[in-house]
Amino acid sequence: MGPRIGPVGEEPQMPGKDAKAIMGAEDTPGGKASPNPQDLRRSVFYSIKFFVLCHSLLQLAQLMISGYLKSSISTVEKRFGLSSQTSGLLAAFNEVGNTALIVFVSYFGSRVHRPRLIGYGAVLVALAGLLMSLPHFISEPYRYDHTSSVDMPQDFEASLCQPTTSVPAPTPDPSNSSCSSYMEAQHLAVVGIMFTAQTLLGVGAVPIQPFGISYIDDFAHNSNSPLYVGILFAVTMMGPGMAYGLGGLMLRLYVDIDRMPEGGISLTSKDPRWVGAWWLGFLISAGAVALAAVPYFFFPREMPREKHELRFRRRILETTASSVSKGEDSPSESPAESQEKQDSLTQIAPDLTVIQFIKVFPRVLLRTLRHPIFLLVVLSQVCMSSMVAGMATFLPKFLERQFSVTASYANLLIGCLTIPLAIVGIVVGGVLVKRLHLGPVRCAVLCLLGALFCLLLSLPLFFMGCSTHQIAGITHLPGHLPGPELFTACTEPCFCPLDDFNPVCDPRTHVEYLTPCQAGCTGRAVQEALDKSQVFYTNCSCVVGGGPVLAGSCESPCSHLVLPFMLLVSLGAALASLTHTPSFMLILRGVKKEDKTLAVGIQFMLLRVLAWMPSPVIHGSAIDTTCVHWAQSCGRRAVCRYYDHDLLRNRFVGLQVFFKTGSLACFALILAILRQQDKDEGTQVTVSTSGLQQQLLTSGPEKKPEESRV
């Protein structure tokens, strides 16, 4: 305790400290020991408080750029013709680079210049963000129909029913073919660039969190370190919410806002062909990360340890001394330990070579996985993380399809409702563990209750939605004839391109047609209004009464259910987040003290490998199985145009319920094991105590060997 108490006094005034300040700048505590103006100018980079501020901003920007793709996943699918399985794989690919290198960070530990390596990682993240936006600039302008993007009047008439006698038969032109080898190569290049960018995004994020947390813990005052880590988490937890908010704003803008055609566009954000400016969010996020990376190249490799405890924290500790009597084992330090996962093996083998490190890691991993409580907690968190990963990736798309809302509105709902409530759940879980001094059994009970109520809130989601409306030629309602029988004869005189997509809706029968041509429409009219204009198609031979039909898809009759649906999802996210801190404490209190940091490192590595990487692909594959009409691009299956809404809802929500049930089962087993362990310990103590008492009463001095054996 001596070294800890000594620096709190007037030690900066001692001659020894002044001599050290003259000998080396890195030993100057914040520049206070030297009046040199140059030292005063540099002193801000020798302040751990300034490092905490910079690191909070950097992690905020890094989480924003990592989560931004999830907010625009449906837009990227539509723009580049990707299936949900491919887009899910793309979203999971930033975990590939992260997981591949995360173990080696624990080897390097403090052997490197940590601030500088954080800066290099942040620069790589910024470059990956720029690379993610590159496909927009190397691709052709987006065409929401299959005609010239210059001649707008021709675009207006392109989807109308035109007699085959007045339209010449199309002749294949290799130079203008959209399926040329150049276009196919460009598509492969675009997809390859995005996968490469996602991999680099994960690689760049590897040193940011572990090195930043360990740097703060090394040079902050022992009492201030948990507070700084808490501030860091409070700021960075806003990153995913800001990513969805940024996505909501950017997707309101048209994708080609930098190269708009002269006549403008005739789309609105509610049109199913609308593609927002997905790439602009990556540019903004990359710029924010690049700015936040600059200070890290000026921080020293080592700075003097902070000597003073924060005043307001000292007052709090004086009034509530009992609440912090646990010291470094208190729950308030759990965020620091949870982020120091990559620094785990340095405590076990700090002087190993890389080869020795790789050899010893599997043995230590297997030894840790033999612990039943640890294994069950990790499995429960794998289930919860799989649920969160699938929900975060595809919930915006699900809302768009199920409730006919725009992509920007879906992102704003998630960013303003779901993410804040999830943050509240994490905070409440930590407060309950801290204030109620919950032991392992009570932590397991809290986790079990949180998982149970989270599961119960998911059950009504199966019934909150509507069936897919009738789409001519694709779906039909019970009791009606299938589409082809209804609409084959009336479209025979028309020349309707098979790959065209310009949906129109008959408001009276709620039947949707892929194009005005398939509805047999020969005329177009625009009704001007003060705030917007409405496009109608007239003289429609395939529509009862001849029309008119409205441009755009038919509105879902369940649009009013989107807010109740999101409220239940958000409350479920809050209850799932409630289990975060108590389940983490089960690991910290369930393994040996020397294995704590290693156990946390293995935990987060397994979460990446078993949850965050496969879950988006699993959810995307399940969503693809509910598609009823695929767009075709160059003979291959591209983006899905229409889904079976009932099947989509049942499979998407069903996957969520499956993972929540798995988590609940794991927590139930944990509680049963902990109670059995407590019962066994109580029985063992009772037996040993009664046995000792009986031996003391009945045995003499000659029984001493037996007493020692007992």
CA 404, CA 505: separation in Å to the nearest integer? 14
Q: What is the pLDDT of residues 392-410, one digit of tens each?
A: 999 999 999 999 899 999 9
As a whole number, the mean pLDDT across the chain is 78
**Residue 232: per-residue pLDDT:** 84
89: alpha, beta or left? (left if phi > 0; alpha if psi -120 to 50) = alpha
Q: What is the pLDDT of residues 449-503, one digit of tens each?
A: 999 999 999 999 999 988 888 888 786 544 444 444 445 567 677 777 777 888 8
Residue 612 has pLDDT above 80, yes or no: yes
Residue 6 has pLDDT above 80, yes or no: no
Q: What is the pLDDT of residues 117-169, one digit of tens each?
A: 999 999 999 999 999 999 999 988 888 764 434 434 444 566 787 765 444 44
- Could you give the count of Cα atoms lying within 13 Å of 70 in the half-sphere of its Cβ? 30
CATH of domain 43-143+183-313: 1.20.1250.20
69: number of Cβ within 10 Å: 25
Model confidence at 371, pLDDT cuts 50, 70, 90, reads confident
Residue 343 has pLDDT above 70, yes or no: no
Residue 331 has pLDDT above 80, yes or no: no
Show the CA angle centred on residue 269, arms to residues 411 and 506, nearest 5°: 120
**Residue 336: per-residue pLDDT:** 41
Cα dihedral across residues 121, 610, 414, 85: positive or negative: positive
Range with the poorest average pLDDT among 71-80, 110-119, 219-228, 671-680: 219-228
- Indicate the pairing of strand 511-513 with strand 504-506: antiparallel
**Residue 669: per-residue pLDDT:** 94
**If we measure between CA atoms, which residue out of 629, 587, 622, 626 comes closest to residue 607?**
587
**Residue 104: per-residue pLDDT:** 67
User: Using the 8-state DSSP alphabet, how is residue 494 labeled?
Assistant: B
CA 282, CA 132: separation in Å to the nearest integer? 7
Same fold for the pair 43-143+183-313 and 353-466+557-688: yes
- What residue spans define the domains of the chain? 43-143+183-313, 353-466+557-688, 484-552
**Residue 445: per-residue pLDDT:** 93
Backbone dihedral angles phi then psi of residue 273, each to the nearest 5 degrees: -90, -5
CATH assignment of 353-466+557-688, among 3.90.10.10, 1.10.490.10, 1.50.10.150, 1.20.1250.20 = 1.20.1250.20
Q: What is the pLDDT of residues 504-522, one digit of tens each?
A: 888 888 888 888 888 888 8
670 close to 586: Cβ distance less than 8 angstroms: yes
Model confidence at 70, pLDDT cuts 50, 70, 90, reads very high
Q: What is the pLDDT of residues 542-581, one digit of tens each?
A: 887 777 888 888 888 888 999 999 999 999 999 999 998 8
Q: What is the pLDDT of residues 192-212, one digit of tens each?
A: 999 999 999 999 988 888 888
